[in-house]
Amino acid sequence: MSIVCKDLVKIYKTGKVEVVALRGLYLTVEEGEIRAIVGPSGSGKTTLLNIIGGVDRPSAGKVIVDGIDLTTLTDAQLVEYRRKRVGFVFQFFNLVPNLTAMENVELPMAIAGVPRSQRHKRAMELLALVGLEDRAHHKPDELSGGEQQRVAIAAALANDPPIILADEPTGELDTKTSRQVAQLFKQLNGELGKTIIIVTHDLAIATIAHKISRIEDGVIVSTVTPAELEAVGYPAGEKLEEKIRRLEERRTAIEEEMKKLEADYKAGKIASDDFVKRYAELKSALDRVEEEIKRYTLV
Ligand SMILES: Nc1ncnc2c1ncn2[C@@H]1O[C@H](COP(=O)(O)OP(=O)(O)O)[C@@H](O)[C@H]1O
Ligand SMILES: [Mg+2]
């Protein structure tokens, strides 16, 4: 579904104080596109997603989704739009702690009135899609961050919405897990044709996007492709994948060497002075690799 924002304005009023979060924003996302939105904190990214997702209404301007202007919908119609058309993914996973992975995926379906037997079947299919069928009966605190985010993505897909909106979905994940989540978004787009908007600081995500828009102070100031981003100095596409993969291999190798060193030390095979010296060397190499991996971050 295509998404068009025209001259979007959002003013928050708290008491007498007004905050202009969006000030005449234009954005066009094609059907079947992945669009990354980058920009500094407070620039209006979350506000924009909330308005596109029908969680909030703009103060002025239009949001046209698949030809329908959301600002003309009644509150009830907007709720309907949000439940059926949009899947949300958040930074902090937003799972219900005392429900299992499967129950979390079933929840949006239960709210939409899907019968129990159908819910079970679809929840299992979705968990399989995100590679977690063997974790169906685990609760969120028994899952890793990456697994929790995959469950959250499965839950966002529960009612088969054509649009996925994700707000810093890899903000809490390490680089390796972030890349797995990025690949999952790519798969949802490629195989299921979802239109996806992802607010992100993470270059691994930005480079799976078809286009990257930068928002500053409530307006989109630039839109580029990953290749154009590469031209201005950020490595993109396969090259970036390759680069990060090599760095991660290096990180794993260092970590393994550190483990072996510790084992040797515990077994009395090396003296403590040698251990401390070598360990410090490895630790500083590890820090450098981590730094370099982090440098592939946009803002
Ligand atoms: N509910 C709210 N009430 C008042 N001000 C808000 C509210 N939500 C966001 N803002 C303000 O609007 C601006 C944009 O916020 P936000 O969209 O959350 O930015 P971002 O997601 O890019 O960090 C900020 O100045 C923020 O303080
Ligand atoms: Mg935000």
pLDDT of 180: 87
In this structure, are 23 and 120 located in the same domain?
yes
Domain boundary among 206, 234, 262: 234
In this structure, are 203 and 269 located in the same domain?
no
CA-47 nearest atom, ligand 1: 17
pLDDT of 241: 67
pLDDT tens for residues 202-249? 877 888 999 999 999 999 999 999 888 777 666 655 566 677 788 889
In this structure, are 159 and 253 located in the same domain?
no
**Which residue range(s) make up the domain with 243?**
239-295
Confidence class for position 201, pLDDT limits 50, 70, 90: confident
Confidence class for position 299, pLDDT limits 50, 70, 90: very low
In this structure, are 250 and 219 located in the same domain?
no
Least confident among 117-126, 177-186, 228-237: 228-237
In this structure, are 228 and 86 located in the same domain?
yes
pLDDT tens for residues 131-152? 999 999 999 999 999 999 999 9
Mean pLDDT of 71-99: 94
Tally of domains within the chain? 2
Environment of ion ligand 2 (residues, CB < 5 A): 45-46
User: By alpha-carbon position, which residue is closest to atom 4 of ligand 1?
Assistant: 12
In this structure, are 223 and 270 located in the same domain?
no
In this structure, are 143 and 278 located in the same domain?
no
Mean pLDDT of 182-206: 91
Higher pLDDT pick, 121 / 243: 121
Ligand nearest to the CA of 38: 1
Least confident among 43-47, 89-93, 105-109: 89-93
Q: Quote the mean pLDDT of the chain.
A: 91
Percent of the chain clearing pLDDT 90 (strictly above): 76
Domain boundary among 189, 206, 234: 234
pLDDT tens for residues 242-293? 777 888 899 999 999 999 999 999 999 999 999 999 999 999 999 988 887 7
In this structure, are 148 and 206 located in the same domain?
yes
In this structure, are 148 and 189 located in the same domain?
yes
SS (H, E, C) the chain: CCEEEEEEEEEEEECCEEEEEEEEEEEEECCCCEEEEECCCCCCHHHHHHHHCCCCCCCEEEEEECCEEHHHCCHHHHHHHHHHHEEEECCCCCCCCCCCHHHHHHHHHHHCCCCHHHHHHHHHHHHHHCCCHHHCCCCHHHCCHHHHHHHHHHHHCCCCCCEEEEECCCCCCCHHHHHHHHHHHHHHHHHHCCEEEEECCEHHHHCCCCEEEEEECCEEEEEECHHHHHHCCCCCHHHHHHHHHHHHHHHHHHHHHHHHHHHHHHCCCCCHHHHHHHHHHHHHHHHHHHHHHHHCECC
In this structure, are 217 and 246 located in the same domain?
no
CA-22 nearest atom, ligand 1: 14
Residue 167 Cα to ligand 2 midpoint, Å, equals: 7
Residue 164 Cα to ligand 1 midpoint, Å, equals: 21
Q: Which residues line ligand 1 (CB under 6 A)?
A: 12, 14, 19, 21, 39, 41-47
